[in-house]
Structure 1
Amino acid sequence: MPRWKALPEELDPQVREFAGQLRRLVDRSGLGLAALADRTGYSKTSWERYLNGRLLAPKGAIVALAEATGTPQHHLTTMWELAERAWSRSEMRHDMTMEAIRISQARAALGEAGVAAAPLAAGRAAGGTGVSTAAAPGGQGRDADRPPSVPVRHGSAPRIPQQPLPGAVRDSGGGGRPGGGPGKQGGGRRKVTLFLTGTVGALMLLAGAVLLTDLGGGEDGTGAAAATPSARPATSGPELPAGVECTGADCTGQDPEAMGCGGQFAGTVARVTVGGGLVEVRYSETCGAAWARITQASPGDVVRIAAGPAEQEGTVDADADAYTPMVAVERASDAEACATLASGATGCTTPE
């Protein structure tokens, strides 16, 4: 069975090359991971992560490895600096990808709202063009044969019984009805037409006011409930990358490595040196969670992560490092890591 696992395919080429060089150094030294941990002061678990590409080794670990294997320190730290910049670029690309996912989801949600509002927009457009023109004097208007109409919203305004215009509009010359004089009948019918047109216009204004003020779906004067289309917000969350097992509140209290939130999906957002130990806030935007990590520590040292009322802690045992379970955070700056060393020294991080 091969000694080393295959490096993750998504690793940056420079990080992959650096991890391969570390593996060759360890192979040439003949040291096992337990012996390497004893000589460098970094735990066996940490070296497994470093050598399998799940975590970039800190500079202190690289210096300790150079001393343990007899490798020129400046050559190894130069390669580490290149890998560290590549690792930071990868984290930046990941942040940009997550930003693009959020923008895409927002656009999709707004698109769904636009589709749901389309029937309402169509109704408004129809309401603005649904009035027929009045007949011209002399009875030759193109809509003179049709009664005026208005698209009344169901349950919002009463319908007006249609008043068919007398056929005498066409017979305004006086020959359509016995006993009617041409001037008297024509003038009276024009007055009726103008009256109906004004009434229809007033009702259209009333219907428009109801549409604009009653979109919340209340009840009108007739007691009928007004139905308006509503846009439903998107409820499905983003699809998590392969290997990531939780996000947000589901990550609280979980191990970040077991849930796949570490490695390429995490970055250090704050750090402080307490005694001889390095305390860091590790944040994963993919998981929406943060945790604390302490390295170069001593057995009995305690590290804590806090975000509001939520708090988790970890204790250094035989290894020289430890990390806490996760707490859910909305922003990286919401989390604070603190350490209490066995020597009595304490300290907390501040956002970078």
Structure 2
Amino acid sequence: MGSAWKQLPEELTGPARSLAEELRTLKDAAGLSLSELATRTHYSRASWERWLNGKRVITEQALDALIGAVECDGPALRALWQQAVAGPSGAEAGAQDTAAEADADADAPRVAGVQDTAEPVEVLPAGEPEPATAWWRRPAPLLACAAVVALVLVLVGLRATRHDDPSTPVADPGTSSAPVTVPAKPVSSDPTCQAMGCAHKNPKDTGCGKDARTLQSDVIGKVVIYLRYSQKCQAVWAAINEGQPQDYATITSSTGESEQALIHYGYDNYSLMLSAADPAVTFQVCGHQPEGNLCIAPMSDPAGMVASTPIPVGPASPPPGVGGTASPTADATASPSAAPTAVS
């Protein structure tokens, strides 16, 4: 599926610009719409719109999710990402929002069901350039030279890999035909652990994120915290979104076990899992940031809640309102992210 992409911001330079262009190429080559990309990677259409249009540098976890969802040269793409975040613009873009973007987020609807009623903003007409934002800063001359040299090496590796592999279709730049669709890698539907076997393990690495549901969510300022649950794995974990580095969420059980979702960089993360096989054990998620702390009410028997309430499978989404249990009718395709990997 080809896209009429909006011109990237002029302030986006060097590896960060090349990374955004490469992400666009991979999306088009895979023939995915923005909704399909969000569903496969467990990241929201809004997040992908920001990354593909150069408003933010993609997080490492979202990049890993993309590599797992489409055919691409993963090592070369990660090398390009490292160059992007190493530059002044990439490092600051991954650590904070601009004032303009924060205002836009405040005006945009936060309800997953409302936000997703319209088609994603993936085809944006070219027009006057957007105003420069504070976090896109041009690198110093010496840094720029080093970044350009490294970028050339990475791009040569990307293109050489595509042409050297006869199984990878490459679109002819001289033709106007649609890119060849690259089939996504097959993904196993069976998790690798269950109950106590999942305790203190990563929900993505074990496959538990594939049937994850948001059972509870609440807001501290602009930060959203979640209690996530996998029915197949009988496990729960905490997630945090729209935060800043050093913000974190914890999940604690009545047996004394706990795990933490700390934002190291970017704006989201999720914790390792706790076993939820015993319906008598209660769990509580708490969020912590400079503006204050907040705990969601303790809950138990997540399996019983899922059995009695039509809560859809899907990535974590901003809650329909401040506080409370996540809406059972929330759109399962809407998802901000989660780190240290792609599951939220």
Q: Which has the higher contact order (CA 8 A, sep 6+)?
A: 2
- Which one has the largest radius of gyration? 1
What TM-score do you get using the length of structure 1 for normalisation? 0.38
